[in-house]
Amino acid sequence: MESPRVVSGWRWRLAWILGWCVFWATNASGAAPAPVRLPNVVLIFCDDLGWGDVGCFGAKGIRTPNIDSMARRGTKFTSFHVAQAVCSASRAALLTGCYPNRLGIHGALGPNQKIGLHPEEMTIAEVLKTRGYATAMFGKWHLGRPAELLPIRQGFDEYFGLPYSNDMWPRHPSAQTGTYPPLPLIDGDRVVEEMPDQSRLTQRYTERAVDFIGRSAGKPFFLYLAHSMPHVPIFASERFAGRSKRGLFGDVIEELDWSVGEVLKALRRHGLEDNTLVLFTSDNGPWLSYGHHAGGAGPFREGKGTSFEGGIRVPCVMQWPGRIPEGRVCDTPLMTIDVLPTLAGLAGAALPPRKIDGMDVWPILRGVPGATNPHPAYFTYYNQGDLIAVTSGDWKLFLPHVSQTLAGGSGGTNGAPARYRALRVGLELYNLRQDPGETRDLAAEEPEVLSRMLLLAEEARLDLGDARTRRVGSGVREPGRVP
């Protein structure tokens, strides 16, 4: 019979050997460590929603409890900007991280144009697909109507929506007869309806979004929900018609808020809320010429179609429990070009091989103390590639150009627009922190600031071009073209 000491030593050696066997079996024999849990992303993008059209941004007579809840449970960004205050250019910047000028996309593309987002550009969807994401887009595309340029050719596994703005249809109030073809509703790359009932668009987009969330719960996903509303012509479903104190426009916004609520409920229902970044914003400010069928820019000057703050500063709230601070208000200037690189960083994805302009601003979104914007300046282009404005810190410089204004008058009625007047803007300098409404030109009083801002403008022209100076920047690229 073995002594107690020998037995004890034998058992100890056996336990040691078994322990190492377990270690090597789980760490060195092909078994992968626990996978990194990549965050889901839901990007909700409204059309022509003004800074002042949401309850938590000061809207009156419009109830937006779900968007307001996002602001309480996340962060409200009060100085969030788009790269250009019009449809196609704004969307191109959001999805690629590039200034529209770099992409050769200006203004709003028409239904019969043969250009759009170049297939060689990488969208957010394509960047995230390199990390195994499921991707879907529901709503307004407006980056090329030809089938070769639709979302399912640009990184999205699924697409359902309108290929361009909902007013580009035969019933346009200001267009000549025959200008626009029947409005197509597309599923994938196939037209499934013509002239769809627009009062059901918000509901149908939302249903597809909620279904996608449920089907994608087992893997990381990117959902781009790009609502057609409140771009004119505005429509609300029967369920929401007549509910708000702001007439039809208010009804439309309250239905959009319902849509946000349905998406948030779906995330909670599938246990995804704590691992999902939800971003809600708009493509530009309100289309003021449509009067009661348009929203408002809050305290800011002008609206859609201008580079004043009312055109390019949009409402933005982000929610991600445990990652984005609750109940916070952030006034650090940001722009949609920063969304792609920030999401790429969160997903551990490489940036596109082609040059982009956005930067990773996650420390600002996260609320890291002392985090600052890495950009020396933001630039706003318009028309056929003219550099219009430079924003750096608290300062904003306008270069001479012709803009538009209602000159204090009201917009149109019954869905028909009022006519804008031309507004000549000179070399003007504003301090946005002290004067967010851009009312006091300080160009003559701040020569050093003016000189610095002009140098920034010249650097942008050399890189991105400027139609007026006939310089072609080294980084300017052509849009996609279909023969």
Task: Give catalytic residues, as residue numbers.
Answer: 87, 142
Q: SS3 of 378, please?
A: strand
Cα 186 from chain centroid (whole Å): 21
- The one-letter amino acid code at 171 reads R
Residue 340's φ and ψ, nearest 5 degrees, are -60, -55
Residue 282 has phi, psi (to 5 degrees) of -140, 160
Cα-trace Rg, the chain: 25
Say how far apart CA 240 and CA 237 lie, in whole Å: 6
The sign one gets for the Cα dihedral 254, 257, 263, 266 is negative
Contacts 24+ apart (CB under 8 A), 57-61: 57/298, 57/315, 58/298, 59/253, 59/296, 60/246, 61/244, 61/245, 61/246, 61/250
Token code pair at residue 174? 């200001």
Measured CA to CA in angstroms, residue 370 lies from 103, 291, 392 at distances of 33, 42, 18
Query: Residue 27 is inside which H or E element, if any?
Result: helix 4-27
CA 294 to chain centre: 20
CA angle in degrees (0–180, nearest 5) for 128-130-134? 55
Instruction: Give the residue from 259, 323, 229 showing the smallest Cα distance to 40.
Output: 323
